[in-house]
Amino acid sequence: MRLNLRWLCLAVLVVSAPVMAAAGEGVTLPRWDQDTVELFASLPVQAGGRIKPLDTYAQFAMLKINGKRTFRTEGGLKIGPTEWIMYCLFFPEVTDTWKQFIVDRAEVVSAIGLTTHDKRRDRYAYSELKPGRQKLMELATQYQRKEARQRAPMEQQVINLAYNLREYESISQFMYFSTVHFHPDPEGRIGKALGVQEEGHATLSLMLQRVPALLSRMSTDKSLSDTERRELSDILHKMEKSVATAGTLSLFPPTDPEKKEWYSPADLLVAAFEPGHDLDTQFKLLGHLERLKALRDDPIAFHQEVLALHGGLKALAEARGEYAKIGVERAFYRGKYLFFSQWLYVLSFVLVALSWLVPQSKWLQRLIPPAVLAPTILLIIAIAFRCIIRGRPPVTTLYETLLFITASSALVAVIIEYINRQRIAVALGSIMGTLGMFLAYRYELKEGVDTMPSLVAVLDTNFWLASHVTTVTLGYAAGLLAAALAHVYILGKLFGLKRGDEAYYASVDRMIYGVVCFSLLFSLVGTVLGGIWANDSWGRFWGWDPKENGALMICLWALVMLHARLGHYIKDLGTAITSVVLGMIVTFSWWGVNLLGVGLHSYGFTSGILRLLVAFWSVETVVIILGFVVGQMDRMSASSSPGDQKTA
């Protein structure tokens, strides 16, 4: 009875769901119901060396092709990554006409002999790009022979577009195998042996179950006629052809726990003809996948097939202990922690800005610290989720340094606020949180690859990742926070904020000094730990590698600052100015050295970052100059009021 009710609910749901009118060939797109979408989203798939939900795979494929995680169809329907991949898989004739390929420069389109849209940056449909495909691939091959650093931006775009086109094709043509039917002569020996008399035709999954055994029986059968041999050979040829485009999604976990690689339909074909594989369950599950395309217009039957496919794949993955983190990863992405954290930081910044306009408002002042703490907690939750999913410490990639530095600098800012309640640190925490999260978002968008990738061999050590990388990254975070505090000092003095309130500036100075000490402690220990790791993996403690040198420069500059302060060469304003330089050195070490393209640490995305860095360094140079202007102003006011001697 419960089952019937469920059926009824489902039927109502499907009937009431909006139906999208497709742009192409009069096909009507169904709106998938959320249960089906969630089942599909949590199908496990092996990609990039790890097991992930299909939704994660779809997200990054979509991000790369479309530049966004959502797509609005011409019918006005907003769809997410899983729905997107479902439409691409089951309605490719429609998705081919969707304007979803982001092209940043129209020259790319004209270079492959096609008419461009009016806008320089626009989205194109596969059907629009297809006539230029051959030219695109030729150009991409030609440009790929060049070293990445030598390529013009347009050439890189051509390569990207070629990749995106291929990626899309690998998804949209993936289900082709399910449309191929085999028609052995039902009266012939082969047809009979394959047992296709009743159906009249057979699908790939059925053929995979029966052909290999038949082949091993018949290959030694001398009585096989030439016609029969040809029929067998045609079947084999057709089978091979049917899976030519079905290699992208490795959805089928092997039963053998020793075998690490999961099977795509194409891999199943290869494995079917190798001895010693037990693949019956996989073939049956392939059957469920196969039927989906034919059932695409029947949501109830479609749902049932997805349910069976999901259950079977989940059971196989669970038997290998490889399903446990699928749920965690789905929860991570469903929770949208990073998204909410980003916008809550923006909100906190709005509150900070309001508090500057209405400084006397007590409730605003009380509201700001929790408003900064809330997104920081969300961010920490997100980082914790990522650690659990990967079984790794928080920082293993350049992207994760962004998240970690944002979280730690905001957290340190909140702690400082708790200690001194000056409302300076917390305001900076809000600004750094907003900036950090936007940078992380932009970076993810630009890269368009899974931000939880498999790690290269040398990084396969949780001990060193946890100790060296985390420590040195905390050093970066503190260095940036010190620089941010220094801006408050310099710009505050310049614009007459709290004029004459020396206690206020002394307090900012103490904060800067404290944070620089914190930065030195973590940078120095982190750098030395990095050396010790290098000594264990490469046999040398120090190799003058650019990344090592960048970290050393942070330590050296912090030491110069502290010794200069101890020796009374600089005072509070000097500390502020040198802290701005510290911030510049941190960004050089964090991002700048990657631009050199040499050394052991040249990982991560760097193209396009140079402009941002140069802009940052230019602005900071102006701040330094302003710092000297402040010094001059101080001296002038000191000389005009001899009773109040104060030097920088």
Partner 1 sequence: MAIKNVIRSVFLFLSSYGVSMVLLFLLLVLTLFGTLEQAHIGLYEAQKKYFESFFLVHDLWGVPIPLPGGYLLMALLFVNLLFGGIVRARKEWRRPGMLIAHAGMLLMLLAGAVTYHVADSGYLTLYEGERSNEFQSYHEWEISIAQSGGGTQLIIPGERFVSMKQGESRSFFAPELPFELRLSGFEPNSRPASAPNSPDAVDGIALVPRPLATGNESNAAGAYAEVIEKDTGKTQRGLLWAFAQAPWSVEVGGATWMIDLRRKRWQLPFTVVLDKFHRDLHPGTMMAANYSSDVTEIKDGVSRQVEIKMNEPLRREGYTLFQSGWGPQNAGPDARLFSTFSVVRNPADQWPLYSCYIVTLGLLIHFLQKLVAYIRLQNRRSS
Site string for partner 1, 482-511 (x = CB under 8 A): ----------------------------x-
Query: Rounded to whole angstroms, how far apart are CA atoms 576 and 620?
Result: 12
Please spell the DSSP secondary structure of 533-568, one letter per residue: HHHHHTS-S----HHHHHHHHHHHHHHHHHHHHHTT
Q: Which amino acid is at 71?
A: F
Asked if residues 169 and 245 have their Cβ atoms less than 8 Å apart, the reply is yes
- Spell out the residues 6+ positions from residue 373 whose beta carbon is closer than 8 angstroms to its own: 414
* Contact residue for partner 1 among 25, 240, 536, 644 (CB under 8 A): 536
Asked if residues 122 and 103 have their Cβ atoms less than 8 Å apart, the reply is yes
Which tokens in the block code for residue 516? 């620089």
User: By C-beta, is 457 or 636 nearer to partner 1?
Assistant: 457
Q: Which amino acid is at 109?
A: V
* Contact residue for partner 1 among 212, 492, 531, 631 (CB under 8 A): 531
Q: Which residues inside 551-570 make contact with partner 1, applying CB under 8 A?
A: 552-553, 556-557, 559-560, 563-564, 566-567, 569
Report the nearest approach of partner 1 to the CB of residue 555 (Å): 9
Q: First-to-last CA distance in the chain?
A: 83
Q: Exposed e or buried b for every residue in 316-345, given b needs 16+ CB within 10 A? A: bbeebebbebbeebbebbeeebbebbbebb
User: By C-beta, is 182 or 518 nearer to partner 1?
Assistant: 518
Contact status: 170 vs partner 1 (CB under 8 A) = no
Query: Rounded to whole angstroms, how far apart are CA atoms 442 and 461?
Result: 29
Q: Cβ-count burial of 187 within 10 angstroms (0-12 exposed, 13-18 middle, 19+ buried)? A: exposed
Contact status: 97 vs partner 1 (CB under 8 A) = no
User: By C-beta, is 80 or 543 nearer to partner 1?
Assistant: 543
Report the nearest approach of partner 1 to the CB of residue 302 (Å): 28
Segment near partner 1 (CB under 8 A), from 192-200, 271-279, 385-393, 592-600?
592-600
Query: Rounded to whole angstroms, how far apart are CA atoms 52 and 244?
Result: 24
Distances (CA, A) of 346 to 334, 356, 433: 21, 15, 8
Contact status: 540 vs partner 1 (CB under 8 A) = yes
Where are the alpha helices (H) located in 320-336, listed in sequence order? 324-335
Report the nearest approach of partner 1 to the CB of residue 376 (Å): 21
**How many residues interact with partner 1 (rule CB under 8 A)?**
63
Query: Rounded to whole angstroms, how far apart are CA atoms 345 and 378?
Result: 10
Contact status: 542 vs partner 1 (CB under 8 A) = yes
Q: Which residues inside 324-343 make contact with partner 1, applying CB under 8 A?
A: none
- Tell me 467's DSSP state: I
* Contact residue for partner 1 among 533, 575, 609, 623 (CB under 8 A): 533
Tell me which residue has tokens 């990445």.
Answer: 148
Report the nearest approach of partner 1 to the CB of residue 539 (Å): 4
Report the nearest approach of partner 1 to the CB of residue 218 (Å): 29
Tell me which residue has tokens 């917390």.
Answer: 426
User: By C-beta, is 367 or 525 nearer to partner 1?
Assistant: 525
Query: Rounded to whole angstroms, how far apart are CA atoms 503 and 201?
Result: 88
The β-bridge partners of 263 are: 252
Site string for partner 1, 450-469 (x = CB under 8 A): ----xxxxx-xx--x-----
Query: Rounded to whole angstroms, how far apart are CA atoms 98 and 105?
Result: 19
* Contact residue for partner 1 among 42, 46, 342, 430 (CB under 8 A): 46
Tell me which residue has tokens 């614009």.
Answer: 495
* Secondary structure (3-state) at 77: coil
Site string for partner 1, 223-252 (x = CB under 8 A): ---------------------------x--
Segment near partner 1 (CB under 8 A), from 57-65, 225-233, 415-423, 618-626?
415-423
User: By C-beta, is 92 or 448 nearer to partner 1?
Assistant: 448
* Contact residue for partner 1 among 315, 419, 610, 619 (CB under 8 A): 419
Report the nearest approach of partner 1 to the CB of residue 611 (Å): 18
Contact status: 307 vs partner 1 (CB under 8 A) = no
* Contact residue for partner 1 among 252, 262, 489, 590 (CB under 8 A): 262
Report the nearest approach of partner 1 to the CB of residue 297 (Å): 33
* Contact residue for partner 1 among 520, 573, 577, 582 (CB under 8 A): 520
Contact status: 525 vs partner 1 (CB under 8 A) = yes
Segment near partner 1 (CB under 8 A), from 276-284, 335-343, 352-360, 543-551?
543-551
Report the nearest approach of partner 1 to the CB of residue 153 (Å): 20
Asked if residues 404 and 482 have their Cβ atoms less than 8 Å apart, the reply is no
* Contact residue for partner 1 among 192, 241, 336, 421 (CB under 8 A): 421
Which tokens in the block code for residue 578? 């040198």
Report the nearest approach of partner 1 to the CB of residue 457 (Å): 5
Report the nearest approach of partner 1 to the CB of residue 169 (Å): 19
Contact status: 319 vs partner 1 (CB under 8 A) = no
Strands (E), 132-265: none
Query: Rounded to whole angstroms, how far apart are CA atoms 82 and 68?
Result: 13
Report the half-sphere exposure of 244 (CA within 13 A, side-chain side). Answer: 7
Asked if residues 589 and 547 have their Cβ atoms less than 8 Å apart, the reply is yes
Report the nearest approach of partner 1 to the CB of residue 380 (Å): 22
- Tell me 503's DSSP state: H
Which tokens in the block code for residue 236? 């084999």
Distances (CA, A) of 550 to 440, 478, 564, 580, 590: 21, 15, 21, 16, 8
* Contact residue for partner 1 among 307, 346, 517, 613 (CB under 8 A): 517
Contact status: 147 vs partner 1 (CB under 8 A) = no
Q: Which residues bind partner 1 (CB under 8 A)?
A: 46-50, 250, 260-262, 419-421, 454-458, 460-461, 464, 510, 514, 517-518, 520-521, 524-525, 528-529, 531-533, 535-546, 549-550, 552-553, 556-557, 559-560, 563-564, 566-567, 569, 593, 596-599
